[in-house]
A = this chain, B = another copy of it.
Amino acid sequence: MGLTRTEIFTEEQNLLASLFKAMAHPARIAILQRIILSNTCICGDLVGELGLAQATISQHLKELKSAGLIQGTIEGVSVCYCINPKVWKLLENRLGEFLGSYKGTTECC
């Protein structure tokens, strides 16, 4: 017990859940917003701007990266992160589909 039984769900359900999970933390939302804002990538800035330790930021970045939402390239001494356009589009599509599948027509409960 204690671990998600992914095997009993569909690919789609697991994919959506994992994308949601990657964004299910205010720090990661903040990181994404910050990256989007200054379209051109950043990184060390994040440590200064969010009030979290460097190790913590790095960990959150890793999660976003392993979910595919962002990508990072080494740029001299620092690392430049930016949105992964492909995955972002996929997310937009799947999410739009999922959320849009509910047409609040008939009032029930």
Q: Which A residues contact B (CB, under 8 angstroms)?
A: 4-6, 8-10, 13-14, 16-18, 20-21, 23-30, 33, 36, 39-41, 50-52, 71-73, 80-83, 85, 88-89, 91-92, 95-96, 98-102, 104-109
> When A and B form their complex, which 6 residue pairs have the shortest distance between CB atoms, in order from nearest?
A9-B26, A21-B24, A85-B104, A20-B24, A13-B26, A73-B109
Given A39-B108, A102-B83, A104-B85, A26 and B51 contact (CB-CB distance below 8 Å)? no
Is B39 in contact with A13, judged by CB distance below 8 angstroms?
A: no
Query: Within 8 Å CB of A52, what residues of B?
Result: 5, 8
Please state the number of chain copies in the assembly: 2
Query: In the complex the two chains form, what is the Cα distance from A13 to B36 in whole Å?
Result: 14
